[in-house]
Structure 1
Amino acid sequence: MSTSNNEQYEKRAKDPFDILIHEKGLRISNMLLDKNLDLIVIILNNGKVLQSHISYYQRLKEATQEQLNQWRLISGGVGVCWENLNEDLSVKGFIKTAVLNSALLDLQDNKPLNNIVA
């Protein structure tokens, strides 16, 4: 059975996060963590910087600074892994969590809502 060029189908992502990651190539290029400041800073390959709180992630919250520093990028920067903590975070999940928590903080007059994860 032959297929002409005009019969070929392209599968395209519909989710805007998937489009950014899988079609546009958005990746984590570096990450900084500071336990004392309860801060995760994600540097993306497009130059954008995102931040969130370590305390939003239970396993990271319970980790020492030394354990937090033992991360590695996975899948070419689509995610980050802490093997010693059995924790993986994806760029998609991180963006959703950071945006959701930021919006909720604004709506709650900056009163933190614990462990809100997308």
Structure 2
Amino acid sequence: MSTLVDIEEARAVGMRIEKEMFYVKLEDGREIGVPFTWYWRLAGASEKQRNNWRFISEGYGIHWEEIDEDISIAGILKGKKNPSPPPKRNVKPNVAQ
């Protein structure tokens, strides 16, 4: 069983993109499959956008430039999802009366 320390120290060394998921290969040999539906920006991205990624922070995260998405390896291992965009705030203009 992984401990929180193990999760926070997990680093990615490889990644492959498939039609509905991406697979992250970790330094310790594990490979984690993640559905694009976990992250709304990736779910709505084109194949080209999904394939335009790079590791950040020495493998502790993944960045997709075109869709402004950053996902930490620790977040993936913790099962953190962001399946829908944040709600729009209904801000009323400040009108003096």
TM-score normalised to structure 2 length: 0.74
What is the RMSD computed on CA atoms of the aligned residues? 2.2
Paired position in structure 2 for 1:62: 44
Distance in 1, Cα, partners of 2:25 & 2:18? 14
From 64, 71, 77, give the equivalent of 1:95: 77
Structure number with greater Rg is 1
If asked which structure has higher relative contact order (CA below 8 Å, sep 6+), I would say 2
More helix by share: 1
Paired position in structure 1 for 2:90: none
More strand by share: 2
Distance in 1, Cα, partners of 2:34 & 2:40? 13
In the alignment, structure 2 segments of 5+ residues that lack a partner are: 85-97
Does residue 45 (structure 1) correspond to residue 31 (structure 2)? The answer is no
- Give the % identical residues: 32
Contact 2:10 2:74 in 1 (8 A): no
Q: Runs of at least 4 residues of structure 1 off by over 3 A? A: none
In the alignment, structure 1 segments of 5+ residues that lack a partner are: 1-15, 102-113
Q: How big is each residue's C-alpha offset from its partner over 1:69-104, in whole Å with a ceiling of 9 and x where there is no partner?
A: 110000000000011110000001111127xx8xxx
